[in-house]
Amino acid sequence: MFEYAPAPESRAIVDIKPSYGLFINGEFVDGNGTSFKTVNPATEEVLAEVAEASDVDVDEAVKAARRAYTRVWSRMSGAERAKYLYRIARIIQERGRELAVLESIDNGKPIKESRDVDVPIVAAHFFYYAGWADKLKYSGYGETPLGVAGQVIPWNFPLLMLAWKIAPALACGNTVVLKPAETTPLTALLFAEICQQADLPPGVVNIVTGAGDTGRSIVSHPDVDKVAFTGSTEVGKAIARAVAGSDKKVTLELGGKAANIVFDDAPLDQAVEGIVNGIFFNQGHVCCAGSRLLVQESVADEVMSRLKRRMATLRVGDPLDKNTDVGAINSAEQLAKIRELSAIGESEGAERWSAPCDLPANGYWFAPTVFTGVSQAHRIAREEIFGPVLSVLTFRTPSEAVEKANNTPFGLSAGVWTDKGSRILSMANRLRAGVVWANTFNKFDPTSPFGGYKESGYGREGGRHGLEAYLRNTEKGADA
Partner 1 sequence: MSRIDVRKTYKLYIGGQFPRSESGRSFVVNDAKGRLLANAAQASRKDARDAVVAARAAFGGWSGRTAYNRAQVVYRIAEVLEGRREQFEAELRAAEGITPARARSYVDAAIDRLVWYAGWADKITQVVGNANPVAGPYFNLSTPEPSGVIAVVAPRGPLLGLVSVVAPLIVTGNTVVVIASQDNPLTAITLGEVMATSDLPGGVVNVLTGSQSEIAPWLASHMDVNGIDLTGVEDAELATELEVAAADNLKRVRRPAPDTDWLAEPGLDRMTQFLETKTVWHPIGV
Q: Write out the catalytic residue numbers.
A: 253
For the CB of residue 206, give the shortest distance to partner 1 in the complex, in Å.
27
Burial class (CB in 10 A: 0-12, 13-18, 19+), 12: exposed
The residue from 41, 176, 460, 470 that contacts partner 1 (CB under 8 A) is 460
**Do residues 417 and 271 touch, judged by C-beta distance below 8 A?**
yes
Q: At what angle do helices 96-107 and 78-94 cross, to 10 degrees?
A: 70
The residue from 19, 197, 397, 447 that contacts partner 1 (CB under 8 A) is 447
Q: What is the DSSP string of 75-132?
A: TS-HHHHHHHHHHHHHHHHHTHHHHHHHHHHHH---HHHIIIIIHHHHHHHHHHHHHH
The residue from 200, 458, 467, 470 that contacts partner 1 (CB under 8 A) is 458
Residues 102-141 that bind partner 1 (CB under 8 A): 124, 140
Amino acid at 96: G
By CB under 8 A, residue 383 contacts partner 1:
no
Site string for partner 1, 139-178 (x = CB under 8 A): -x--------------------------------------
**351 or 403, CB closer to partner 1?**
403
Q: What is the CA radius of gyration of the chain?
A: 22
Q: Single out the segment in contact with partner 1 by CB under 8 A; choices: 2-10, 155-163, 351-359, 433-441.
A: 433-441
By CB under 8 A, residue 397 contacts partner 1:
no
By CB under 8 A, residue 373 contacts partner 1:
no
CA separation for the pair 419, 266 (Å, rounded): 5
Q: Single out the segment in contact with partner 1 by CB under 8 A; choices: 197-205, 210-218, 355-363, 437-445.
A: 437-445
The residue from 153, 176, 254, 326 that contacts partner 1 (CB under 8 A) is 254
Q: What is the DSSP string of 455-474?
A: GGEE--BSTGGGGGGGEE--
By CB under 8 A, residue 233 contacts partner 1:
yes
Of 338, 334, 332, which Cα lies nearest the Cα of 388? 338
By CB under 8 A, residue 422 contacts partner 1:
no
Q: Single out the segment in contact with partner 1 by CB under 8 A; choices: 79-87, 150-158, 308-316, 457-465.
A: 457-465
How big is the site for partner 1, counted in residues (CB under 8 A)?
Answer: 47
Q: What is the DSSP string of 15-60?
A: ---SEE-EEETTEEE--SS-EEEEE-TTT--EEEEEE---HHHHHH
For the CB of residue 219, give the shortest distance to partner 1 in the complex, in Å.
13
By CB under 8 A, residue 255 contacts partner 1:
no
The tally of CA atoms less than 13 A away on the side-chain side of residue 185 is: 30
Q: Single out the segment in contact with partner 1 by CB under 8 A; choices: 15-23, 352-360, 374-382, 468-476.
A: 468-476
**Do residues 446 and 168 touch, judged by C-beta distance below 8 A?**
no
By CB under 8 A, residue 445 contacts partner 1:
yes
By CB under 8 A, residue 463 contacts partner 1:
yes
Q: Which ranges in 172-219 belong to alpha helices (H)? A: 186-197, 212-219
Task: Give how far Cα 283 sits from Cα of 107, 224, 276, 287, Å.
Answer: 11, 34, 10, 11
Q: Single out the segment in contact with partner 1 by CB under 8 A; choices: 231-239, 321-329, 352-360, 390-398.
A: 231-239
The residue from 26, 33, 236, 284 that contacts partner 1 (CB under 8 A) is 236
CA separation for the pair 230, 239 (Å, rounded): 11
By CB under 8 A, residue 464 contacts partner 1:
yes
What are the backbone dihedrals phi and psi of residue 61, each rounded to the nearest 5 degrees, phi first?
Answer: -65, -40
The residue from 200, 289, 435, 467 that contacts partner 1 (CB under 8 A) is 435
SS3 content of the chain, % helix, strand, coil (to 5): 40, 20, 40
By CB under 8 A, residue 437 contacts partner 1:
yes
The whole-angstrom distance between residue 321's C-alpha and the CA centroid of its chain comes to 22
For the CB of residue 51, give the shortest distance to partner 1 in the complex, in Å.
31
Q: What is the binding site for partner 1 (CB under 8 A)?
A: 124, 140, 233, 236-238, 240-241, 244-245, 252, 254, 409, 424, 428, 433-440, 443, 445-451, 453-455, 457-458, 460, 463-465, 473, 475-480
